[in-house]
Structure 1
Amino acid sequence: MVANPPRPRRRHAARPLHPAALLLVSLLSLGVLVAGCGQVPMLSAANGPKAPAASARPNAPAAPVDCEYTETGTPARPVSPPPSTGVTMTGTATAMITLSAGSIVITLDRTDAPCTVNSFLSLAEQKFYDNTECPRMTVVASLSMLQCGDPTGTQTGGPGYTFPDELSGDETYPAGTVAMANSGPNTNGSQFFLVFADSRLPPDYTVFGHTDRAGIAVLAKIARGGVDNRNGPGDGRPKTAAKIISVTAG
């Protein structure tokens, strides 16, 4: 359990990288009933991609969707929001995250998270993630993850826009999961986290991809170096270099 009280939330600070989230996870792992938790934001016309048009053919590919990217604040690096219309909602894509500790290949899920994948690939194409440090690693009994995606390294930076969650309410976070960090419902930006051991979190974080055993091994190697505990026991900057050299689609 996290001993220190939660720090005040800064604007755009991303979860589950906030000690408050760690406190919740620790309580859940101890079987403690936590009251007052917010409801899981559900995908709807108001806060998610528009539903594809119905097709007369049962097995026809899903129609493209429109996504909502809302400009908010100043981007950590000059970058443009991704195209918001005609976004592919079928199949998968592949991206490689080349870290200082090794390469991680992720398979991106366009079906369940089309708008998230669209944003991630757009930022990768614009080299938003290149030469950036992953500022936070958490290694506790119920949460094992590395957070990346903020060029400022402060956990408050983003791309200058936000977009809605893509959630079913049934999300789980086993080893290999790649999901969006956020600072509350529908505040996704550029920050994401990679899970390297089965973790317990509320279903509040959009899952948009997975990595394989080789990718998990790279993350575990970083974790073995420990963290500086600046945010509490088992939570802080990784002591082993965790710098993104590049993110490329392919």
Structure 2
Amino acid sequence: MASSNTRQRKLARAKVDRQMVRRADQERRSRQLKAVFGGVFALVLVGVLGAWSLGAFDAKPTETVAETCAWSPLDLAGNPSLKDAGKPATNGMPTSGTSAMTIAFAGGNVVADLDRTASPCGAASLKYLADSGFYNDTKCHALTHTEGDFALACGDPSGTGNGGAAYSWWMENPPAVEAPSAAPSTTSSAAASASPSPAAATAVRYPAGTVAMTPNLNGSQFVIFYQDSTTETAYSIVGKVTGSGLDVIKKIAQAGTTANEAGEDVKPKQDVVIKTLTVVDNTAPAPSTPASPSAPASPAPSGAATSPKPSASTAS
């Protein structure tokens, strides 16, 4: 029989062998893990370097949206007549179609179509202020009635003509520049009677019903021309009165004017108060319907001249 010492040596040797096997196994797994992590790291590093070479980490310029309307702030401290009403958005407003502006006066409503294609900023400003109630219960401050300038001016809550919303914008839709018509011949009495005033020899820049803004002053004042006007004052045309609303302005003009605080005879003699002013989108117009072929046509003037109806005396 083997001695106890021999047995213990065998057991110790077996233990050492087992420890060496486990250590070798651990080292093998460690090498495998290191190899895997090394491969993953190499792949990530290659991907990062590739993305960097393609400019993925370059600072990208901030995308800017072009402004449709650039509103310029006015000096509130230098002009106490101005009113801080905020400012409309610089973009995102409609730039086509029309809006309906309705002004409720004591004498009736005035409805105008605002041209959002030619005057997107003017239309946007009017809607922005109307939605906030800016114009409600304000007085129109001037009624011009000089030769070539016939307009009712509103939109200044201070009533001075120097105030309004504290922002402005540049000319947007100026009137068309037309050459004045030829002066009537002095040898033709018919032509002279057809043109009794010098204003008739000047091109109309603002037809009756024109609604225009005063952009170089502020963003809220507007005028409504109640008669064809030839004034060279630069207004930004924003729309036109539709329907019978122009009669309301003409009745206001017939009431006359009185001197304002500056001594100018332009203040409406009777207070002209805007009860409410609203702006809403117009619905798309329905397609025009062609005339019915069976509808009788009106006789042409030339036909009436060549084939006159018999008079009562002839018939008898």
TM-score relative to the length of structure 1 = 0.67
Q: Does 1:136 align with 2:142?
A: yes
Query: In structure 2, how many angstroms separate the alpha carbons of the residues matched to 1:156 and 1:213?
Result: 31
Q: Does 1:191 align with 2:198?
A: no
Q: Partner amino acid for 1:70?
A: S
Residue in structure 1 matching 2:211, options 174, 178, 200? 178
Query: In structure 2, how many angstroms separate the alpha carbons of the residues matched to 1:220 and 1:142?
Result: 15
Q: After the TM superposition, which residues 12-51 of structure 1 pair with which residues of structure 2 at under 5 Å, given as runs? A: none
Q: 1:232 to 1:154 in 2, by over 3 A?
A: closer
Partner of 1:238: 268
CA contact (8 A) 1:222 1:241 kept: no
Q: After the TM superposition, which residues 10-159 of structure 1 pair with which residues of structure 2 at under 5 Å, given as runs? A: 66-74=68-76, 76-159=82-165
CA deviations on 1:199-243 (whole Å, 9 max, x unpaired) are 01226210001102511100110111110144678x411112311
Residue 162 of structure 1: CA displacement?
Answer: 1.1
Q: Which is helix-richer, 1 or 2? A: 2
Q: Partner amino acid for 1:71?
A: P
Residue 149 of structure 1: CA displacement?
Answer: 0.3
Residue in structure 1 matching 2:236, options 206, 209, 214? 206
Residue 140 of structure 1: CA displacement?
Answer: 2.4
Query: In structure 1, how many angstroms separate the alpha carbons of the residues matched to 2:165 and 2:100?
Result: 21
Residue 160 of structure 1: CA displacement?
Answer: 1.2
CA deviations on 1:132-169 (whole Å, 9 max, x unpaired) are 00011011231111000000001111211111110355
Residue in structure 2 matching 1:228, options 258, 270, 287? 258
SS of 2:94's equivalent in the other structure is coil
Q: Partner amino acid for 1:212?
A: T
SS of 2:249's equivalent in the other structure is helix
Query: In structure 1, how many angstroms separate the alpha carbons of the residues matched to 2:175 and 2:156?
Result: 26
Aligned-residue CA RMSD (Å) = 2.2
TM-score relative to the length of structure 2 = 0.54
Query: In structure 1, how many angstroms separate the alpha carbons of the residues matched to 2:175 and 2:240?
Result: 18
CA contact (8 A) 1:113 1:208 kept: yes
> Unaligned 5+ residue runs, structure 1?
1-63
Query: In structure 1, how many angstroms separate the alpha carbons of the residues matched to 2:248 and 2:268?
Result: 13
CA deviations on 1:12-65 (whole Å, 9 max, x unpaired) are xxxxxxxxxxxxxxxxxxxxxxxxxxxxxxxxxxxxxxxxxxxxxxxxxxxx96
SS of 1:248's equivalent in the other structure is strand
CA contact (8 A) 2:105 2:275 kept: yes
CA contact (8 A) 1:164 1:188 kept: no
Residue in structure 1 matching 2:167, options 161, 168, 173? 161
Q: Does 1:216 align with 2:246?
A: yes
Residue 100 of structure 1: CA displacement?
Answer: 2.2
Query: In structure 2, how many angstroms separate the alpha carbons of the residues matched to 1:240 and 1:213?
Result: 24
Residue 188 of structure 1: CA displacement?
Answer: 4.0
Q: 1:246 to 1:71 in 2, by over 3 A?
A: same
In terms of Rg, which structure is larger?
2
Residue 76 of structure 1: CA displacement?
Answer: 3.8
> Unaligned 5+ residue runs, structure 2?
1-65, 178-204, 281-316
Q: Partner amino acid for 2:277?
A: V
CA deviations on 1:78-124 (whole Å, 9 max, x unpaired) are 42201111222111010101112221001000011101110111011
SS of 2:134's equivalent in the other structure is coil
CA contact (8 A) 2:175 2:206 kept: no
Q: Partner amino acid for 1:107?
A: D
CA contact (8 A) 2:174 2:234 kept: no
CA deviations on 1:159-208 (whole Å, 9 max, x unpaired) are 111111103551620100000125xxx44421110000000122621000
SS of 2:251's equivalent in the other structure is helix
CA contact (8 A) 2:208 2:225 kept: yes
